[in-house]
């Protein structure tokens, strides 16, 4: 079953399109939801939670229509909001237990699950302090605990590492990565591309209310169509020149004298080895070039524009 | 790092159906208020008139000629007068924080992303506020009625049951309308203190307006719609005296409550769902 499906989904705020004829079938796993400000990420999540009524088209979440069965969808999924939000006058444990009860856990199960998930989130004795007194990192942990206490099959996490120090961010990302192990798919909406690189297997890119790309992160990060990064022990220029005679044109890396890039089809990789062997040169590595997510995103956006 | 071993798995048990989820909110609010030491002190104060009147009733029937049975209207009218005053203060103090607290901590986004819609949220908050209101109107009055029945020589069970009905109807009307009004004020997002002051200020202001208009326009009972106190006392007269000309007060009281609830429902729906 898909995580969610969008069919020609359209929604506009006062005439300004926030989602524009969006189509997608998103598979289970951890999905990074990327896009510049105003791209429609939050509107998409709100629509999937049944918090907006689309102008046209429809969506399903785990096979359920959020416009018709919003309560059921919200019971099947968890949501961690971006902003600081907490239940007034409750301590960490009470807040998570209450969130569990609101999500449908029976009373006894809510108590047990609240303790388990707070252990999991790393909130020790602090669970008995009022949430309003927590640090930003602890509030983020409580929000995550509240989102998953009832065992959702899908969790929408909106900027979960906002305001965290590097250590806190590491721990939060480790928790999010671990959610996949226990069978909770994740949709991670964030501006921090490093978080997506660490956690997500797929990426869904939105620009101006449209989905511009959905697919595996590894494919998204691949360099310019079939460009390989080649490292040699010595003799880079000679190898580039010899490859030119074979119709393969290499570009020397401006920063590393032992690296160059060459565009070639996978079946022509043996040619590379043959030419190097012929010249008596030693290849250190040959691999499809992988871009940082930031570079890949910038290239994609500049190409899209 | 946590000292705990992270063993966590998805919950595979059965979840409760979403219908009726408002009870979770209702009970949580009551738990929160009852845990407040100021509520306990307030409750003690609010119970005093009923305790004193029950004691007075006992002493009067024990040491004087009175039977207790003939005391119905003035007796309960005085009691409700006291309890409605406490009700006004209670709503300003405790009712004011019901929604505004959630708005200040942005908890509405936590509610509405769970299987809670605006109606469930409203029912939970309204139910809790009404339960608090009934705690200081219905329960003390009911206890006095029981004392009256136990000490009054000639009070039949039918008359007692009629009293219980009147007490219940008066208390419910007051609890419903005042709760709807304070929740609507609370949904403005102002601080609870400001909401409480606004509530008391509006009460005094409308009383003053009604008084001025009453003197200048020929003392029309239609002006009672401006006065919550008049509506409440009118409903006491209607139920305990059978004053049929006060039926308008009862209908107005419930009508205003229903209208305010409808407005509040629409307002909460706006918080829940974004419109295009």
What value of ipTM does the predicted structure carry? Answer: 0.87
Sheet holding A210-216, edge to edge: A77-80, A154-158, A185-189, A30-34, A202-207, A210-216
Q: Write the pLDDT tens digit of every residue in B214-262.
A: 888 876 777 777 888 889 989 998 988 888 888 888 999 999 999 999 9
User: Which of A54, A69, A87, A102 has the most B C-beta neighbours within 10 Å, making it the best mutation to test the interface with B?
Assistant: A102
CB-based contacts of A245, cutoff 8 Å, min separation 6 = none
Would an 8 Å CB–CB cutoff place A14 in contact with chain B?
yes
Confidence (pLDDT) at B71: 62
How much is the pLDDT for B67? 60
Residue of B nearest to A185 (CA): B10
Contacts of A208 (CB under 8 A, 6+ apart): A17, A20, A38, A39, A40
Residue in chain B closest to A146 (alpha carbons) equals B110
Pairing of strands A56-61, A202-207: unpaired
Yes or no: say if A220 and A34 are a contact pair by the CB < 8 Å rule. no
- Residues A140 and A232 occupy one common structural domain: no
- Position A183 in a domain: yes
- With contact defined as beta carbons under 8 Å apart, do A220 and A213 qualify? yes
Rounded CA gap, A121 and A144, in Å?
A: 8
Report how far residue A78's alpha carbon sits from residue B113's, in angstroms, rounded to the nearest whole number. Answer: 8
CB A115 within 8 A of CB A93: yes
A295 part of a folded domain = no
Same domain, A25 and A141: yes
Cα B20-B22-B28 angle, rounded to 5 deg: 130
Q: Is residue B129 included in any domain, yes or no? A: yes
**Lookup result for tokens 């004298």:** A257
CB contact under 8 A, B276 and A13: yes
Burial class (CB in 10 A: 0-12, 13-18, 19+), B218: exposed
Number of domains in chain B: 1
- Answer yes or no: do A204 and A266 share one domain: no
Distance CA A7, CA A209 (A): 14
Q: Is residue B93 part of a domain?
A: yes
Q: Test A104 with B17 for CB contact under 8 angstroms.
A: yes
Q: How many domains does chain A have?
A: 2
Write out the residue range of the structural domain in which residue B135 sits.
18-275
Do the domain assignments include residue B3?
no
Supply the pLDDT for residue B263.
97
Question: Chain A closest CA to B174's CA: distance in Å?
Answer: 27
**DSSP assignments along A84-104, one per residue:** ----TT-BHHHHHHHHHHHTT
SS3 at position B30: helix
- Evaluate whether residue B10 is within a structural domain: no
Judged by DSSP in three states, B115 sits in coil
Task: Give the minimum alpha-carbon distance from B236 to chain A in angstroms, rounded to a whole number.
Answer: 37
Specify if A68 maps to a domain. yes
How remote is the C-alpha of A78 from its chain's centroid?
16
CATH of the domain at A126: 3.40.50.300
- A102–B111: do the CB atoms touch at under 8 Å? yes
Give residues with Cβ within 8 angstroms of A228, minimum separation 6: A261, A262, A263, A264, A269, A272, A286, A287, A288, A289
Q: Mutation test of the interface with chain A: which of B98, B112, B114, choosing the one with the most A Cβ atoms within 10 A?
A: B114
Of A34, A49, A18, A25, nearest in space to A217 by CA: A34
Burial string for B196-211 (b: 16+ CB within 10 Å, else e) reads: bebbbeebeebeeebe
Residue-number span of the structural domain to which A34 is assigned: 4-220
- The verdict on A167 and A152 lying in the same domain is yes
The pLDDT tens digits along chain A (305 residues) read 899 999 999 998 877 888 999 999 999 999 999 988 888 899 999 999 999 989 999 999 999 999 999 999 999 999 999 888 999 889 999 999 999 999 999 999 999 999 999 998 888 888 999 998 998 889 999 999 999 999 999 999 999 998 888 888 998 999 999 998 888 999 999 888 889 988 999 999 998 889 988 988 887 777 666 788 899 998 899 999 999 988 888 889 888 889 998 888 878 888 889 999 999 999 988 888 777 777 778 777 776 55
Residue of chain B whose alpha carbon sits nearest to that of A70: B115
Chain A residues 91-120 with CB within 8 Å of chain B: 98-99, 101-106, 109, 113, 116-117, 119-120
Whole-model pTM? 0.86
Give the residue from B239, B225, B129 showing the smallest Cα distance to B175. B129
Shortest distance, CA B194 to any CA of chain A (angstroms): 18
Q: Which residues of chain B have pLDDT under 50?
A: 1
Q: How far is A124 from chain B (nearest CA, A)?
A: 7
A37, A141: one domain: yes
Question: Sheet holding A56-61: strands in order across?
Answer: A16-26, A4-13, A56-61
Query: Do A284 and A135 belong to one domain?
Result: no
CB contact residues (below 8 A), chain A span 38-57, against chain B: 43, 46, 49, 51-55
Instruction: Look at the alpha carbons of A271, A274, A276, A279 in this order and tell me if their dihedral is positive or negative.
Output: negative
């Amino acid at each position: 079953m898909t995580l969610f499906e969008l069919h020609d989904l359209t929604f506009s705020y006062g005439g300004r399109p926030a989602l524009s004829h969006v189509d997608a079938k998103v598979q289970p796993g951890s999905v990074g939801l990327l896009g510049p400000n105003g791209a429609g990420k939050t509107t998409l999540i709100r629509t999937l939670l049944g918090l907006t009524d689309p102008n046209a088209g429809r969506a399903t979440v785990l096979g359920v229509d959020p416009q018709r069965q919003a309560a059921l969808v919200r019971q099947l999924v968890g949501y961690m909001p971006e902003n600081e939000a907490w239940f007034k006058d409750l301590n960490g444990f009470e807040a998570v237990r209450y969130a569990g009860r609101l999500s449908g856990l029976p009373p006894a199960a809510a108590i047990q699950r609240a303790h388990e998930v707070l252990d999991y989130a790393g909130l020790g004795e602090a669970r008995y302090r009022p949430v309003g007194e927590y640090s930003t990192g602890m509030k983020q942990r409580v929000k995550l605990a509240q989102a998953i206490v009832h065992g959702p099959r899908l969790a929408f996490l909106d900027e979960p590492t906002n305001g965290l120090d590097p250590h806190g961010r590491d721990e939060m990302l480790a928790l999010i990565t671990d959610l996949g192990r226990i069978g909770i798919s994740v949709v991670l909406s964030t501006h921090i591309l490093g978080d997506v690189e660490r956690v997500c297997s797929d990426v869904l890119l939105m620009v101006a209310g449209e989905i511009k790309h959905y697919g595996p992160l590894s494919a998204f990060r691949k360099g310019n169509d079939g460009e390989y990064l080649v490292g040699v022990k010595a003799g880079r220029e000679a190898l580039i020149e010899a490859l030119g005679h074979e119709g393969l044109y290499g570009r020397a890396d401006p920063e590393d004298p032992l690296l160059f890039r060459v565009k070639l089809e996978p079946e022509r990789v043996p040619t590379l080895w043959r030419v190097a062997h012929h010249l008596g040169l030693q290849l250190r590595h040959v691999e499809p070039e992988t871009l940082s997510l930031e570079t890949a995103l910038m290239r994609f956006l500049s190409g899209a524009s | 790092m946590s000292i705990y071993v992270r063993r966590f798995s998805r919950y595979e048990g059965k979840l409760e159906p979403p219908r009726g989820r408002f009870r979770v909110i209702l009970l949580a609010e009551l738990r929160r208020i009852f845990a407040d030491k100021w509520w306990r002190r307030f409750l003690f104060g609010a119970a005093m008139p009923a305790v004193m009147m029950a004691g007075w009733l006992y002493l009067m029937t024990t040491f004087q000629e009175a039977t207790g049975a003939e005391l119905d209207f003035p007796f309960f009218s005085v009691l409700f007068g006291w309890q409605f005053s406490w009700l006004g203060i209670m709503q300003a103090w405790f009712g004011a924080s019901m929604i505004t607290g959630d708005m200040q901590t942005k908890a509405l986004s936590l509610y509405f992303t769970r299987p809670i819609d605006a109606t469930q949220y409203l029912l939970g908050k309204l139910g809790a506020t009404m339960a608090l209101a009934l705690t200081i109107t219905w329960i003390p009055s009911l206890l006095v009625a029981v004392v009256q029945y136990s000490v009054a020589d000639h009070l039949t069970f039918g008359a007692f049951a009629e009293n219980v009905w009147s007490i219940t109807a008066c208390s419910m009307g007051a609890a419903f309308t005042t709760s709807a009004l304070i929740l609507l004020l609370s949904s403005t997002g102002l601080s609870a203190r400001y909401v409480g002051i606004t509530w008391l200020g509006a009460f005094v202001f409308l009383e003053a307006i009604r008084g001025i208009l009453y003197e200048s326009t020929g003392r029309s009972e239609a002006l009672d719609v401006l006065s919550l106190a008049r509506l409440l006392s009118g409903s006491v007269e209607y139920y305990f005296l059978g004053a049929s000309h006060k039926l308008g007060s009862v209908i107005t009281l419930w009508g205003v409550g229903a209208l305010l609830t409808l407005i509040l429902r629409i307002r909460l729906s706006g918080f829940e769902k974004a419109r295009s």
